[in-house]
Structure formats: structure tokens, C-alpha cells
Amino acid sequence: MNVLFSKAPFHFLIYFFLILMGCSVKDDITPDIITPLPTKSLKSASTSFSVGLSTSTPKLDLLSYTQIIEREFESITAEYQMKMNVILPVKGTYNWSKADQIVNYAVSKGLKVHGHALVWHESTPDWLLNYQGTDVQFEQEVKDYITAVVSRYKGKVASWDVVNEGVSDSAGSLRNTVFKQRMGDDYMVKCFQFAHDADPDSKLFYNDYNLETNQAKQNKVFELIEDWKLRKVPIHGIGFQMHISYLTPKDQIQTATNKAVASGLLLFYSELDIRANPNKDISTFTLERSEAQRLKFKEVVQIYNAIPISNKFGITVWGLKDDDSWLLKHHNNFNEWPLLFDANFNAKQAYTGFLEGLN
Ligand code: XIL
């Protein structure tokens, strides 16, 4: 006790000295690529659309994490806990706990929630994938599910991705999912209608990836949208996931964005991340790559910010910190730094780029 007590002032002096020198005790990354948080937050700099973040529980229990959410973002999307295999893993047994936690957190903090995603082939629970009933019963299950979810969060979740990734990567055709097989080629139209019937005020989106770079896919999606508009299908917006890289050509992003604007729908950059190492040619995050990533974030945000206000909905980044990114898990890509914050919660140059794009 005595020893400890006698050393305390000494420790305090060292700590004070470190603070004076501008050192952080927990720092273990290259200081050059860290940007201290500027006085303006992303959400305060963005005056015409919502800046959002994908998130999940139990991250929402961490103060270091929620402080940044509440300072920087106006909207959240559940990264995976509002998908069908989480909410309805077993036929007839809804599990709302995670989705409720996310929505309740958002409501308590005055954040918007974008609902993601009602129908997605990758998050279809096994019981529905291997459904033994008739096609009519299958469709009823889907209808019941969409109705239950959208109704539960009516007034709290103001927008939904109704169908995620319904178009295939090749040949510009519909993706051959169990929904297409069981409910027919018009299954997306039916799903939009189910969602609209459950909450007529909800903004309903079609969401997909590589819409800026895959021409055949882009054509097919806009062809569907034109058809749906003629048929008065209740669709209000298109989501470009925007899982891109620092090498994604600007003109492709611009062209796809122009098409969305011309469609008259809301445009959402719904899952933005920008890979700094798409060709796996670096093993540490270099200054040069950090700069290239900053410029790409700036470019993307500028392109979005320049669209007419009537098409604006938001930009959501897919994860807060580099080490949280789905890309590390899903593409086995351990050397990747695709987000706005580093593993120690420090804002990166990527953050600065986003902010610059808003100015
Ligand atoms: C990913 C999540 O990031 C992962 O945590 C989850 O395990 C699988 O799904 N396109 C989408 C998102 O629409 O739902 C995906 O999210 C990433 C690709």
C-alpha cells in the first residue's frame, strides 16, 4: 500500500509528460495516417442527406463505439441482425431480440433506421430454402414474414431494402433464387407490394452490388425499374451497395449515378466501403494508399452530393473500424483497410476525404 502510494505521483508525472508530448498510451499504429477528429462531424457537414453506419449488437454496448455513432451518424442499418435467418431462423418462431435492440437504441438516440434486408438469397433460413409445402404456401410464408417485420417496426424503421441482390452477375438476368423458383419471375413485385401493404409510408428500395461496374447487371436493374414504374409497383429507391476500391473508375460511378437520377427514384449509396488493397499488393497500410483512399472517398461523396435533392437519400458506410469490416471475414482478405476509422477508433484520412466531399 505504502509503496503504491509513494509511486503514484511519479506515474502521474510520466503520464502528464506523455500527454504534453502528444503521445497516446495505447497508440500502436503509424501516427501519420491518423487524423484527429475535426470539429465538424460528418452528420453536421452533410446538410442534404443522411450519413449512416451499419452496426450490430453487442457493439452498441461499447461507449467508445456509440460515442462515435452519436457524434458522426444520423442513420443506422443492421449489418446482419435484421435479416431473415436471424429474425426467423425456425419456421413459426420469430426472434426479435437483436433487431429490437438495434431499433430501440436508434429510437432512444433519435437515429433513423434503414431496414436491411427483407429478402436476400444469402440470408434465407434453411427451413425456407428446403421448404416442403406448395408454392402457394411458400409465397404465404414470405408474405407473412414481410408483413410481420415491416408492421412491427412501422413508425420506427422508415425505409426497407425489400429485395437485396435479385439480379445475377452475368447475362443480365434474374438471380435464380428460391424466391424466383417458388414465386415466379415477378416475385420482387410481390414482395414490394407486401411491404407497402404493411406500411404504406415506408420508402422501399431495391439494393444490389457492382451496379456501377457491371454493365449487364446495371442494364437489367434499370430495365426492371422502368417496368416497375410503368406498372406502379411501390418502389421508391435504388441502393448501390458501393463495395468499391480505390481503383474503381470515377466515370463508371458517375454514369450509374446519372442513370439512377434519371429514373427519378431515391438513390442510396447503401454499404460504402473502399478497398485499399484490392490487388493484395501491400501488407501494411501505406501513406500512398491512404491518400488514394482519401481521394476516392472524397470523389464518391462529391458525386453523390451533386445529385438533385429530390434523389437524395443517404450514404451509409459498411462498418465503423477497419478491423470490423465484413471484407476481412468474407473474402479472406486480412490486409484490408476499407473504412473511415482504424482499429483504435482513430479517424483516418478516409474520414477526411468523406468530410471534404461534403464541403
Ligand atoms: C454482410 C455482413 O457485413 C456480414 O456481417 C454478414 O455476415 C453477411 O452479410 N451485401 C449486403 C450485406 O447486402 O448484407 C452484406 O453484409 C455485405 C454484402
- Domain 30-285+302-319 annotated CATH 3.40.50.920: no
pLDDT tens-digit series, residues 194-219: 999 999 999 999 999 999 999 999 99
Confidence tier at 112 by pLDDT (50, 70, 90): very high
Confidence tier at 330 by pLDDT (50, 70, 90): confident
Please state the domain extents for the chain.
Answer: 30-285+302-319
Atom of ligand 1 nearest to the CA of 319: 3
The arithmetic mean of pLDDT across residues 271-286, rounded, is 96
Distance between Cα 99 and ligand 1 center (Å)? 15
The arithmetic mean of pLDDT across residues 48-71, rounded, is 97
Helix intervals (H) in the chain: 2-20, 42-45, 63-72, 84-87, 97-109, 126-129, 135-152, 178-183, 187-198, 215-230, 250-263, 287-305, 326-330, 349-358
Atom of ligand 1 nearest to the CA of 116: 14
Could you tell me if the CB of 263 is within 6 A of ligand 1? no
Q: Is the pLDDT of residue 1 over 70?
A: no
Could you tell me if the CB of 80 is within 6 A of ligand 1? yes
pLDDT tens-digit series, residues 3-21: 333 444 444 444 444 444 4
Torsion of CA 271, 211, 236, 327, to 10 degrees: -20
Active site residues: 165, 271
* Mean pLDDT over each residue of the chain, to the nearest integer: 91
pLDDT for 171:
80
- This model's pTM is above 0.85: yes
Distance between Cα 161 and ligand 1 center (Å)? 13
Could you tell me if the CB of 81 is within 6 A of ligand 1? no
